[in-house]
Amino acid sequence: MGNFTELMLAQVIAMNITLLIDADNSPAKYIHSILIKLAGYGTVNIRRAYGNWASPHLNGWQAVIHEHAIQPIQQYEVQPDNSMLKASHGSFQYSPF
């Protein structure tokens, strides 16, 4: 009876895991190892990879997203705001008046 109770408790404690991937900055070659490691902690229910999927840089990810049921999410590259760019270079002057 004790082993059955422990088994049931272990199933209840198993976590639901969300995996969010920055595909632009993470190599695809590690995804299999990562999913195996996460499986030891629970079930990876949500798997999303964010990146600019129009970029040839993500060809490695495109080869594995279907195999591992990862949902690709389009994330366009962020262009810096011109005024913030000037401020960071010291050419922007602030006047409270």
Residues 50-83: pLDDT tens digits? 999 999 989 999 889 999 999 999 988 776 555 5
The range of the structural domain enclosing residue 51 comes to 2-88
93 domain-assigned: no
Domain assignment present for residue 8? The answer is: yes
Domain contains 97: no
Locate 9 and state its tokens: 């408790």
Query: Quick check: is 29 in a domain?
Result: yes
| Domain annotation covers residue 94 | no
Tell me whether residue 63 is in a domain. yes
Sign of CA pseudo-dihedral 39, 42, 46, 49: negative
Is a pLDDT exceeding 60 seen at residue 35? yes
How many Å apart are CA 52 and CA 36, to the nearest integer? 26
Q: Please say if the pLDDT value at position 33 is more than 70.
A: yes
| Number of independent structural domains in the chain | 1
Q: Does the residue 52 lie in any domain?
A: yes
Task: Check residue 92 and give its pLDDT.
Answer: 47
